[in-house]
Amino acid sequence: MPSRRSFLQATTLAPFLSLSTSQPPNTLIKPDRLRPGDTIGLLCPAAPAYSRETVQIAQESLQVLGFKTKLGPHIYNRYGYLAGRDADRVADLHAFFDDRSVKAVMAIHGGWGSARLLPLLDYNLIQRNPKTLIGYSDITALLLAIYAKTGLVTFHGPVASATFNAYTVDWFRRLLIEGETLTMRNPTEKGDNLTQTQNRITTIRPGLARGRLVGGNLTVLSHLIGSTYLPDWQNTILFVEDTHEEIYRMDRMLTHLKLAGILNQIAGFVFGKCSDCGTGSGGYGSLTLEDVLTEHIIPLDKPAYSGAMIGHISDKFTVPVGIDAEIDATAGTIRLLESAVS
């Protein structure tokens, strides 16, 4: 017969456990690879498109890559710091997934607001009409929730207003257009220096690890903990990045992942870039980001490295969410074990 304590634990914790646990998707769904002439739908699921010129440049960049573009009806809406009301932003996303002429959906930029849309999304509609969804930063909320709820592979990569330079375009093209089963590795150019000084990787714990790639912006991801919009973490390769966060906040968010049991479940860890992340008010007494990663990640005794070309940077990888991969924490590489598109 169960004790009074176990009964109380079961009855009081059950609602919270049901919220925080999720099952891996029954079937992985890969979107079709992109082809010249395909139409990409552009929308703002978070912050507004403050500048029409920014949208125009985004369209022109994608057109140079051989794509047509289509703007969401509410792309220029404004509701405070949001690109219109939640219902209107969701309507644009639903319209693009329901539109057979649209082969990919790309956010103009991030900001804040994507998480507000998660309870409003028609996941059945999205699952019936799989297509490429790509973005980063605040778009992490959509990437993770849609993958968790539908099994659709999503892509942590450039937003439409990103700098489409040769490096970023190369990874975008190889993954989404060519459908390569590729290995992501940082640039190794030394320039005029005796050794490489830029875009270096740092091995936190050496070794190889295999698992499903899952991750995105650390701030956005950590604020979804406890909801039903995160995937199962067992045997995953967790990748994270961030920007404009003080070191104590990074410590706080990684602590949150540890307390939630996420870090203990992963098979490997990749930290991208933390752009403009300083000690802030911590000053002389602050830990460094290296200190924080060392304290949280080394005790996991799992392969891990930092410095990957993932984040709020000009030169970036396009990383599929939900695809099996192998990381080499010594070499600082992410090797896909299958194509991310069909």
Q: Which residues are catalytic?
A: 137, 241, 312
In Å, the largest CA–CA distance within the chain is: 74
d(CA 245, CA 250): 7
For residue 162, give the 3-state DSSP assignment.
Answer: coil
Q: Assess contact for 173 and 321: CB atoms under 8 A.
A: no
Q: Give the DSSP H/E element, type plus range, for residue 166.
A: helix 166-172
- Distance CA(209)–CA(170), nearest Å, equals 26
The angle formed by the CA atoms of residues 219, 223 and 225, to the nearest 5 degrees, is: 125
**Secondary structure E strands in the chain:** 39-43, 68-71, 102-107, 132-135, 154-156, 183-185, 202-205, 208-217, 236-243, 268-275, 304-306, 319-321, 324-328, 333-336
Residue 312 three-state SS: coil
Residues 6+ apart with CB under 8 A from 200: 186, 307
How many CA atoms are closer than 13 Å to the CA of 272, on its beta-carbon side? 32
